[in-house]
Amino acid sequence: MAAINIDRLSLRLSGISGGDGQRLARLIAEGLAASPIGIEGTHHLDAMQVNVTARPGSSMDMLSQQIVADVLRQLERTL
């Protein structure tokens, strides 16, 4: 099983309060930690950018799930 080490997670958010942004970052970190990753071995990736548009009416939980899914897709494509 692969492990992911994230040195820094930066979010650029519009229309979300600081508290909601912190909650979103925590949900993303928890989602990544709990996700199975289909990548074996050791890899290094300097940076990754994921652009996600929140679906109308989506909650912080739903937005974090979108972001986690996009990060995992991009990791599997890149590595």
What does the pLDDT read at residue 2?
A: 58
Residues 20-62 pLDDT 10s: 999 999 999 899 888 877 667 677 788 888 888 888 888 999 9
What does the pLDDT read at residue 6?
A: 78
What does the pLDDT read at residue 38?
A: 67
Q: Is the pTM of this model over 0.85?
A: no
At 56 the three-state DSSP class reads coil
Q: Cα–chain-centroid distance for residue 9?
A: 8
The region, left, alpha or beta by phi > 0 then psi within -120 to 50, assigned to residue 57 is: left
